[in-house]
Each structure stands twice: as structure tokens, then as C-alpha cells.
């Protein structure tokens, strides 16, 4: 009798899960973007949300919850009901770097989220004022080695700072970090010649490289990027193992039904495979990604291992 009741209970659970999945979604879905409106992650998320609304036949809205390097928005998503109606567009900041940079965190990167889908990636780029005498990454490194601690590098983000640290470790060059609060002022100073070299995202750099106001010395992806055609990768310029990618990925609160995660992953995967989506994301400075939830989980774990070791080795912290 006990076995019969147990089988009955299990059958009910399975049937309820199937009914939930078949009825899903029955109300508005929200995607939290843990950054300001108009920022790169926000714009890309709004495009994906719009496409999801069409494919799901249900409204998908974007809510901006900026602050603390993305921690405020990510924490709200972690505390949200795991019913399949709240997601967060996580990044290499919120789901990898912040746990090593901040003395305390309002969420647990690994325990509080379910990976859903890797949405997009984009490399960083080494930029130079058009007046610098070198035109390649190798020439830049040679100059930095010849003049240790004198070549200033504009750094508008934590990711840019970590690119600098990795670059110094692998090249042996000693560079002088010049922190900036965002790309706007760093780009202005780069163009004006107040600082001659900088590191930023390919999406932020594209307009200035395209119109000839800045030079792209190299990108941090393992191979050349379609975002900056013609710019060689650092890996092909002598530092064979060098690779840094910034990324956006969809996460759900821990405990979100597996059927829902699989449904959203399937829809996002279809959207990312569409040529129009790939074209639009490129316009926004992103390269469409994709893959299973398990692949995202493995990818993020490898990222945590790589960047955790680097952050600890240089003692980098954010108060």
C-alpha cells in the first residue's frame, strides 16, 4: 500500500510538472538587467526580450536594477520566486568576478542561480591614440618593456583592469594603470591624447576605430573578432594562451523548474541561431553565443577558476 501511494505521489508530481510546462508562460516574464538602461548589456537584453515575447506569445519585460557593480540586480533575482517568471541577464562581472572583488556579497554566485543560456560574448580591445608611433600589439609591448612603468593605460572597468593584469603577467611588460569611471571619459582622453593607450570593450571601441579616431592594436579573443575586422588577436601576436571574453548569460533563481529552464533555453537558442539576431547583436557590439544550461555552467566554472586565481594573486579588491 505504501509503495502504491508513493507511486501515485510521484505520478502526480510528474503530471503537475508537465501541466506547468505546457501552460507556461501564463503571465508576464521579467528579465532583470543589473546595469543602467542604455548600457551594452541592457540594449542586447531588450532585443532578446522582444524576440522572446514573440516566440512565447507572452510579454517579456526588462527591469533595470543597477548598482554595486551589478550586485543589487543580481541579488534581487536571487531572492525572486523560482516560478519561471524572473530571470537575470548575468555577466562575467555578476557571476564570476564580483565574488572575488567585493569583501561581502548579497548572493552566492553558484548556489543561488540556475544557468539557462549563454547569450553573447565580446572581446576587449587594446586601443591607441592615432598619434602613437606603433601600429601593432608587438610594437606596443616592446615599447612598454623598454620603458617600464611609464606607459599609461586607461582602464574604464574592472574587466579592463584584469586584462591589464593578465597582460603584464604573460608579457613581462610593466604598465601604469589609469582608472576611469566609464568609457565616456576614457575615450575622450584617448582621442585627445591625455592618455595614449586604453583597454575597453570592442562594442565601445568600434565607432572610434571605424571613423579613424583611434587605433585597435589587438583584441583579447583567441582569434580575430567580427566586431573589429582586421584587428589581430593578442594570442596570434605572441602571447599564445591569452584570451579574455566579456559575456552576457541568462540565469534563473535556484529551484526554477527544469522544464521551464529547458523551454527558455530552447527559445533563446532558436533566436540566437537566426541570421537577423546575429546581425543585430553585431550592430550592438555582441557576438551571438548559445549552448545548453550545462555548457553555461561549465563555462562559468572555468571562468571562476581562471579569474579567481588572478584576482587573488594581484590582491585586487573593491571597497
> Taking a C-beta distance cutoff of 8 angstroms, is the pair 316, 179 a contact?
no
**Mean pLDDT confidence for 9-21:** 48
pLDDT range class, residue 227, cuts 50, 70, 90: confident
* Chain CA centroid to CA 243, Å: 14
Place of cell 593584469: 165
Query: Residues 165-221: pLDDT tens digits?
Result: 999 999 999 999 999 988 889 999 999 999 999 999 888 898 999 999 999 999 999
- Report the relative pairing of strands 152-155 and 176-179 from DSSP bridges: parallel
Q: How far is CA 284 from CA 94, 171, 232, 289, 295, in A?
A: 21, 31, 21, 14, 24
Query: 2-121+245-314: what CATH class?
Result: alpha beta
pLDDT at 19: 42
Q: How far is CA 291 from CA 288, 299, 306, in A?
A: 10, 10, 21
All structural domains of the chain with their residue ranges:
2-121+245-314, 123-237
Its pTM stands at 0.85
Q: What is the DSSP string of 163-197?
A: HHHHHHHHH----EEEE-SSHHHHHHHHHHTSSSE
Kindly provide the residue ranges of all beta strands, DSSP E only, lying in 146-286, ordered along the sequence. 152-155, 176-179, 197-201, 214-219, 245-253
Query: 123-237: what CATH class?
Result: alpha beta
> Taking a C-beta distance cutoff of 8 angstroms, is the pair 140, 313 a contact?
no
Kindly provide the residue ranges of all beta strands, DSSP E only, lying in 37-93, ordered along the sequence. 60-64, 86-91
Decide if 2-121+245-314 and 123-237 have a common fold. Answer: yes
Amino acid at each position: 500500500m505504501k509503495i502504491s501511494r508513493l507511486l501515485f505521489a510521484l505520478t502526480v508530481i510528474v503530471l503537475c510538472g508537465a501541466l506547468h510546462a505546457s501552460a507556461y508562460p501564463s503571465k508576464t516574464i521579467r528579465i532583470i538587467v543589473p546595469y543602467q538602461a542604455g548600457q551594452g548589456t541592457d540594449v542586447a537584453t531588450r532585443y532578446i526580450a522582444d524576440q522572446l515575447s514573440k516566440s512565447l506569445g507572452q510579454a517579456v519585460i526588462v527591469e533595470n536594477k543597477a548598482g554595486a557593480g551589478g550586485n543589487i540586480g543580481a541579488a534581487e533575482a536571487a531572492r525572486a520566486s523560482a516560478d519561471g517568471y524572473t530571470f537575470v541577464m548575468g555577466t562575467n562581472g555578476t557571476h564570476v568576478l564580483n565574488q572575488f572583488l567585493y569583501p561581502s556579497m548579497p548572493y552566492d554566485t553558484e548556489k543561488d542561480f540556475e544557468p539557462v543560456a549563454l547569450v553573447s560574448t565580446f572581446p576587449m580591445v587594446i586601443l591607441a591614440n592615432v598619434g602613437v608611433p606603433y601600429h601593432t600589439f608587438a610594437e606596443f609591448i616592446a615599447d612598454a618593456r623598454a620603458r617600464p612603468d611609464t606607459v599609461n593605460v586607461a582602464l574604464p572597468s574592472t574587466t579592463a583592469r584584469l586584462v591589464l593584469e593578465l597582460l603584464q603577467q604573460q608579457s613581462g611588460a610593466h604598465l601604469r594603470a589609469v582608472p576611469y569611471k566609464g568609457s565616456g571619459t576614457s575615450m575622450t582622453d584617448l582621442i585627445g591624447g591625455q592618455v595614449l593607450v586604453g583597454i575597453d570593450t570592442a562594442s565601445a571601441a568600434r565607432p572610434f576605430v571605424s571613423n579613424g579616431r583611434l587605433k585597435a592594436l589587438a583584441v583579447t579573443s583567441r582569434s580575430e573578432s567580427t566586431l573589429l575586422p582586421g584587428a589581430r588577436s593578442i594570442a596570434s601576436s605572441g602571447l599564445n594562451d591569452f584570451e579574455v571574453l566579456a559575456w552576457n548569460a541568462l540565469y534563473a533563481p535556484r529551484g526554477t523548474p527544469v522544464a521551464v529552464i529547458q523551454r527558455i533555453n530552447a527559445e533563446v537558442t532558436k533566436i540566437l541561431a537566426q541570421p537577423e539576431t546575429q546581425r543585430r547583436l553585431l550592430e550592438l557590439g555582441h557576438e551571438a553565443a548559445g549552448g545548453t544550461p550545462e555548457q553555461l555552467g561549465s563555462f562559468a566554472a572555468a571562468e571562476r577558476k581562471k579569474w579567481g586565481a588572478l584576482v587573488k594573486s594581484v590582491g585586487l579588491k573593491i571597497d
